Amino acid sequence: MNPTEKMRSQKVYFSNDETLLAEQMQCLETLYDFNHSRPSEVEKRQTLMKQIFASVGEGCYIEPPLHANWGRHTHLGKHVYANFNLTLVDDTDITIGDAVMIGPNVTIATAGHPIEPELRRRVGQFNIPVSIGNNVWIGANSVVLPGVTIGENTVIGAGSVVTKDIPANVVAVGSPCKVLRAIGEHDRTYYFQDRPLAGNVLE
């Protein structure tokens, strides 16, 4: 099994392969260019994003700084927006759907390490894909851990640690993140706490 196959196997492997380290350096070099681009260099940023990621849908925008282990294992749908300081530990696939909004200081991680001390001493690692559905909003300072799927339209509250799958069409929050309630009539009536949508939507 070659190093890339080991990374995608979802089994424990040892992440000290020189070939992998050299390939990872290429990503870090491109990220450096992205993170040091000027705000006015919109086309340059779009070009660099296409070099960094496996796929990029139209209308995506990421605020620098961006951090990624590989970049090439992350798939962005259309109109994805990520605020400052997104960290992608994408040692295997991270799939982000259309119209996803990601707050500042969010980490999405596919990589983990065994609890068993000797395996960690040897730099043992495993990688399990993460999937984020269309129209999800992930609040600031949240962490999404390996193997998690988040269903479409769901809101992850700020500061959450998402350790397990979260279904579609819910508000979920906490550490560990749990479903608080379904998205429903209340959300069609109020946009924030007791502030009604009626008369408060500007066109």
Per-residue pLDDT tens over the stretch 30-58: 999 999 999 999 999 999 999 999 999 99
CB atoms within 10 A of CB 46: 15
- The strands making up 61-62's β-sheet, listed across from edge to edge, are 61-62, 81-82, 101-102, 137-138, 155-156, 170-173, 178-182
Please report which confidence band the pLDDT of residue 203 belongs to, taking 50, 70 and 90 as the band edges: confident
Active site residue 113: yes
Q: What is the mean pLDDT of the chain?
A: 96
- This prediction has a pTM of 0.95
- Residue 16 is predicted with a pLDDT of 74
DSSP for residue 17: -
Catalytic residue among 67, 73, 79, 113: 113
Q: Residue 61: which H helix or E strand, with range?
A: strand 61-62
pLDDT digits (tens, 9 = 90+) for 69-125: 999 999 999 999 999 999 999 999 999 999 999 999 999 999 999 999 999 999 999
